[in-house]
Amino acid sequence: MWFDSVWQAQVDTINPIQSPMAVSSSLFISSLQGSMVAPKTLKCYRENMCSPSNVSCRQSGYTKSMYLTHSRLLPSGKLLKWEQTDGFSSKDRIQCCAVQVENAPLFSVGKKFQLDDVIEALQFDRDILGAIFEVASEMEKIEKNSPGSQILKGYLMATLFYEPSTRTRLSFESAMKRLGGEVLTTENAREFSSAAKGETLEDTIRTIEGYSDIIVMRHFESGAAKRAAVKAGIPIINAGDGPGQHPTQALLDVYTIERELGKLDGIKVGLVGDLANGRTVRSLAYLLAKYQDVKIYFVSPDVVKMKDDIKDYLTSKGVAWEESADLMEVASKCDVVYQTRIQKERFGERIDQYEQARGKYIVDQNVLDVMQKHAVVMHPLPRLDEITVDVDRDPRAAYFRQAKNGLYIRMALLKLLLVGW
């Protein structure tokens, strides 16, 4: 067996009567094959060099180590760490060894980021989310303490926005510059780029990738970011694609929830407003499904209810959800009230439906009065009148802190996509 051969090469003619290591090795292999939890560290040595039975295990310093992998023996994502010490007795012919199973360093410094592009929330698993949040925390320290960071010096980011944006575009541009990079930008590509002349998105992407190292794109069509990523040879970040998804907003939303509440498992979240057209709430629902014991409430006018694809996805993942017409009741139960504006630009000629939906659910002092003390109000912004201005004074109003967190998340994503962990 592969494992036995490695073991024997390291032990150097051990007398099985004198050493328990042979027994330990077979037990350890059996534990791996049986999917049992193996001991973290076995460190064997002779005490007093006099009695074969006087052998014990302890932790001590290592003089040599190497990682060995074997897919048939080790679970996915694990490494076998072999460690050897210099505690060797020529008399007893016992060499001190240790075998340790530990998690593979998936997010070690300098390692390539697991994703080539950031297109949708479904790309992320819980481990990657946690690791990204740790990097974002480091980016906050850089922003506050090291304004002259040069992590991305020599890199160029192109922002290609076919729809209006304030926070997303400026936070990406600020993120790039705060890490020492440079920015090429077009604010209204739909009107002031060659798209106005009929150029296809694919041709635009192929052209711009020749000028930059990464493209941040907002588009009015759902699925446009995927089309761009297929053609591009450099990373594409989806900064919102019509009513489709807004993954970086969802990342900063979950990051904000964790910072505000101190947890992500076992929370109740009320999604309020335009749930049919809101790409932010769709992406957020996908990410919340990664966590345990989450319940989501959908509160919206009938004309903009959450679409069935999100409900079906949550059900398939075992996430509890409920539709309600009573904002006050939902607000009293929730840890997060996530308000969104009714998006007039998505209604087209259906102005009557927009007017019917607008103003139905407003977060004001009355809503704050029924909310729990630890709960927070969030909003992807911009707001119109769906959150009254007097709410801003309440410490539970987290939406401007939320917007600031977008800078740290986007700094983290740029760093990870361009230079890795």
Q: Which residues are catalytic?
A: 167-168, 197, 218, 246
Return the structure tokens found at 290.
């990664």
- Phi, psi (5° rounding) for residue 294? -95, 140
Q: Which residue is it, tokens 């014991």?
A: 293
Helices and strands in the chain, H and E counts: 14, 14
Angle between helices 399-419 and 247-261 (to 10 degrees): 120
What is the identity of the amino acid at 51?
A: S
Return the structure tokens found at 4.
């036995």
Q: Positive or negative CA dihedral for 266, 271, 277, 279?
A: negative
Is 182 in contact with 157 (CB distance < 8 Å)? yes
Distance between CA atoms of residues 398 and 135, nearest Å = 21
> Considering only CA atoms, which of 330, 328, 326, 261 is closest in space to residue 295?
330
Distance between CA atoms of residues 162 and 284, nearest Å = 22
Distance between CA atoms of residues 139 and 49, nearest Å = 54
Element (H, E) at 53: none
156 exposure class (CB count in 10 Å sphere: 0-12, 13-18, 19+): middle
Distance between CA atoms of residues 115 and 248, nearest Å = 14
